[in-house]
């Protein structure tokens, strides 16, 4: 008896995964860097926590607004392209058929077969065929502004909460070390989960996120120490 099994593909996760990883990464790194920079300037524990909470709120709203505006612009472009393609199909279907056929020839089909494939696909769903094969659009990768905004804001808040929690439990004279260590641990976990969810190389993803997180914190601490000494 022959068994069939469905293959697991990860590309359908690209939209929400990108927004979620970006949000969590920004939440962890920006908030950790912020509180470490303030702590390096010899601020009080209360000031550090207030700065962190303000950073969480501002960052989550900024991420949500930025993702919504960015993905909405992408969605507007996609709609405009589809509207233009729909008009071209109505005005000159023969040209559009030849155009689609040439695309399939360029991908390796013989001219006769390409012409037959283009004809059958256009009879089934002309706009869908051109959207997919000419414009490179698909429902799997369609822009979803609200989903991207909510995912970014939520994951940013979760990520930002981790260094803030460390600030509340760590002794005031060990805030820098505690936040730095917990942040690197959080980034390691995030890198692993992001790579696992996306089917990517775990080591490369984790090393990349740790490197840039450590660099951001180091630079912010240096700036905090500099301004703390000047002021």
- The helices-and-strands tally (H runs, E runs) of the chain is 7, 0
Rounded mean pLDDT of the chain? 81
Tokens of 189: 């976990």
| Alpha carbon distance 89, 91 (integer Å) | 6
Q: Is the pLDDT of residue 1 over 50?
A: no
pLDDT per residue as tens digits for the range 94-106: 888 887 788 888 7
pLDDT per residue as tens digits for the range 2-57: 454 444 444 454 555 666 777 888 899 999 999 999 988 888 888 899 999 999 99
* pLDDT band, very low/low/confident/very high, at 114 (cuts 50, 70, 90): confident
Q: Indicate yes or no: pTM above 0.85.
A: no
Using DSSP's 3-state secondary structure scheme, residue 217 falls into helix
| More confident: 80 or 158 | 158
Residue 145 Cα distances to 142, 176, 197, 208, angstroms:
10, 37, 21, 27
Q: Which own/partner contact pairs does 130-136 have at CB distance under 8 Å and 24+ positions apart? A: 130/85, 130/89, 130/96, 130/99, 130/100, 131/81, 131/82, 131/85, 133/100, 133/103, 133/104, 134/85, 134/99, 134/100, 134/103, 135/81, 135/82, 135/85
| CB within 8 Å of 35: residues ≥ 6 apart | 48, 49, 51, 52, 55, 163, 164, 167, 175, 179
Tokens of 143: 């822009």
* Torsion over CA: 105, 110, 111, 112 (sign): negative
């Amino acid at each position: 008896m022959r068994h069939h099994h469905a293959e697991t593909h990860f590309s359908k996760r690209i939209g929400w995964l990108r927004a979620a990883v970006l949000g969590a990464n920004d939440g962890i790194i920006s908030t950790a860097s912020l509180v470490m920079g303030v702590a390096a300037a010899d601020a009080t524990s209360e000031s550090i926590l207030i700065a962190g909470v303000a950073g969480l709120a501002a960052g989550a709203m900024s991420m949500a607004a930025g993702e919504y505006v960015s993905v909405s612009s992408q969605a507007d472009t996609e709609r405009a392209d589809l509207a233009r393609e729909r008009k071209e199909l109505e005005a000159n279907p023969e040209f559009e058929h030849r155009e689609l056929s040439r695309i399939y020839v360029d991908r390796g089909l013989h001219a006769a077969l390409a012409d037959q494939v283009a004809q059958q696909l256009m009879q089934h769903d002309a706009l869908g065929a051109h959207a997919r094969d000419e414009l490179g659009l698909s429902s799997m990768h369609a822009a979803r502004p609200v989903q991207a905004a909510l995912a970014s804001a939520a994951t940013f808040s979760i990520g930002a909460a981790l260094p803030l929690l460390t600030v509340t439990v760590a002794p005031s004279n060990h805030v820098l070390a505690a936040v730095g260590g917990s942040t690197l641990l959080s980034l390691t976990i995030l890198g692993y989960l992001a790579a696992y969810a996306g089917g990517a190389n775990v080591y490369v993803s984790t090393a990349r996120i740790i490197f840039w997180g450590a660099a951001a914190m180091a630079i912010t601490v240096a700036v905090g120490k500099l301004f703390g000494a000047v002021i």
